[in-house]
Amino acid sequence: MENTASLATGPDGRKRRVSYFFEPEIGQPTDPFPSHMAHKLILTYGLDRHMEISRPYLAGVFDFTQFHSPEYIQFLASLTPMNNKDPSVSLNKSRFFDLDVNRHTNSTIFNGLFDYCRASAGGSLSAAVKLNRQEADIAINWAGGMHRAKRDRASGFSFVNDVVLAIAELLKVFKRVLYIDIGFRHGDAVEEAFYNTDRVMTVSFHTYTDTPFPRDGDRRELYSLKAPLKNGLKDKSLRNLFRPVINKAMQVYQPEVVVLQCGADSLAGDFTFNLKVKGHGACLEYIRSFNVPLMVLGGGGSTFRHVARCWCYETAIAVGVGEQLEEELKVNEFHYKPNFQPDFNTARDIEIIRNGLLRQLSQLIHVPSVQFQDTPPISAATEPAEVDMEKRQVTQNLRRSKL
């Protein structure tokens, strides 16, 4: 296996205890969620023989309000297809939903929205508890990964942020959590939720259009890594960025547990990235090889059969039989209609982002591990020498370069 950080022949080379959560009762049979379709594939390929399968705990209002505001949850609980058109509901919708959510909410998802959230969040909570109790090495919840739901605001397909809830649960036992997000959109809500603590580091690979305005000089930025990527991102570009950055993050931050959001909207044919299932799965494969307890979550993805294929492949990787399913699942093929976009991320672009992130990470070595609350930004006075050096270096290089 060339895509790993450790040797496959080590004592626990291929085998991990994998715990998988799936709730069959949620969702319409005629309009299944991608996690349902993935589950079907998983059973078809016999992956159920390799892992523990459980029905998740169904989270409730109490669980949701560990992060979300009570008013928001109340609103979610009260929504039905019947009152969808009520004026009062509409008012709240504009308060609690983003514009893009409103587009989504016209679908039948509404019919079991609250139950969907309960299963999604419940699965992630169950996964967290499994890892907390050391009953599994890898815990999977494809219904989870709703990384954009804010405390009192839905966004995209995310209504309840199971990722935040799960990480909060993990923090009861693990000192440091590394959250990695390879969904197309920026995992901003997760980053935001844990912005003030150094016990969670977030690393997100997403579309460049999602980049927030960074708080320059703020130490907290060191724990919120962002890789804004251009359209057409292909396997190779992602790999050249993902592996060195994650490698360094693991080294420098030494997380005790890793949470990986495997949003399939970064696959080709969905938004504007061009990842194949192979390249997408390679991320999981790489992280798995560090032998750190790992939570694997789903996410977005609009072409469900691609999503299902992707998550089935990633399940196979988790249990250690990924290679055997590559042919069957056609992981090395593009599945979108021929409208080939080039990868606008040049090697140079990737290099720049990589260098930037690696530099950020190396600053962590010098920063003592301090629990901060509302740390004000570092003033220039604290590190004047370094700043000047950098400035001088930059301007020198500028004059040399063609800019």
Partner 1 sequence: MGFKRTFDAEDVQELNVKNARQISYCNKLAKLDEGVPYRVSLEKSSVVAGDDISDLYGYKCEDDVENGFETSAPFSWITTGLCEEDSQSGATTQSTLSHESPESDIPWRPVYSEEDVYWCPVSPRKTVPIGPDYQADIPECVKEEASGQSGQAVGYDEEQVTGKCVIPMPDCETEVCKIGKGRKECICLDKGSIRCVQQHIMENREDLFETIGYDRCLNLGLYEMGEEVAGKLTEDEEDLFHEIVYSNPVSMDRDFWKHLKSAFPSRTMKEIVSYYFNVFILRRRAIQNRSKSLDVDSDDDEWQVEYDNTFYGAETPSDDKAEKSLSRDEEEEVNANEDSYMSFEYQSNAIYSRCPVKNREESNIGNYWRHCNDLVDQSYSFDPCDSILPDHCWTKNIDLLPTSNIIDEIFGQDPWDDFSRGK
Does 32 participate in binding partner 1 (rule CB under 8 A)? Answer: no
For partner 1, the binding residue among 74, 105, 196, 240 (CB under 8 A) is 196
d(CA 23, CA 39): 10
Of the two residues 111 and 291, which places its CB atom closer to partner 1 in the complex?
291
Of the two residues 18 and 284, which places its CB atom closer to partner 1 in the complex?
18
Does 337 participate in binding partner 1 (rule CB under 8 A)? Answer: no
Q: Identify which range of 75-83, 109-117, 188-196, 241-249 contacts partner 1 by CB under 8 A.
A: 188-196
AA letter at 66: Q
In the complex, what is the shortest distance from the CB of residue 184 to partner 1, in angstroms, rounded to a whole number? 12
Taking CB under 8 A as the criterion, which residues in 78-107 touch partner 1? none
**Contact map string, positions 343 to 362, toward partner 1, x by CB under 8 A:** xx-xxxx-xxx-xx--xx--
Does 208 participate in binding partner 1 (rule CB under 8 A)? Answer: yes
Of the two residues 57 and 311, which places its CB atom closer to partner 1 in the complex?
57
- Among candidates 254, 242, 237, which has minimal Cα distance to 358? 242
For partner 1, the binding residue among 25, 29, 62, 339 (CB under 8 A) is 62
Taking CB under 8 A as the criterion, which residues in 125-164 touch partner 1? 125-126, 129-130, 132-133, 135-136, 150-152, 164
d(CA 346, CA 348): 5
C-beta of residue 250 within 8 angstroms of C-beta of residue 290? yes
In the complex, what is the shortest distance from the CB of residue 353 to partner 1, in angstroms, rounded to a whole number? 6
Sheet with 294-297, edge to edge strand ranges: 18-21, 138-141, 294-297, 257-261, 177-181, 200-207, 224-229
Taking CB under 8 A as the criterion, which residues in 212-251 touch partner 1? 212-217, 224, 226, 228, 230-231
Q: 255-288: b or e for each residue (b if 16 or more CB lie within 10 Å)?
A: bbbbbbbbbbbbbbbbbbbbbbbbbbbbbbbbbb
Does 261 participate in binding partner 1 (rule CB under 8 A)? Answer: no
Q: Which residues pair with 228 in a beta bridge?
A: 206
Does 21 participate in binding partner 1 (rule CB under 8 A)? Answer: yes
The H or E element containing residue 202 is: strand 200-207
Does 206 participate in binding partner 1 (rule CB under 8 A)? Answer: no
For partner 1, the binding residue among 109, 173, 292, 321 (CB under 8 A) is 173
- Among candidates 300, 239, 237, which has minimal Cα distance to 265? 300
CA dihedral 243, 225, 322, 147 (to 10 degrees): -170
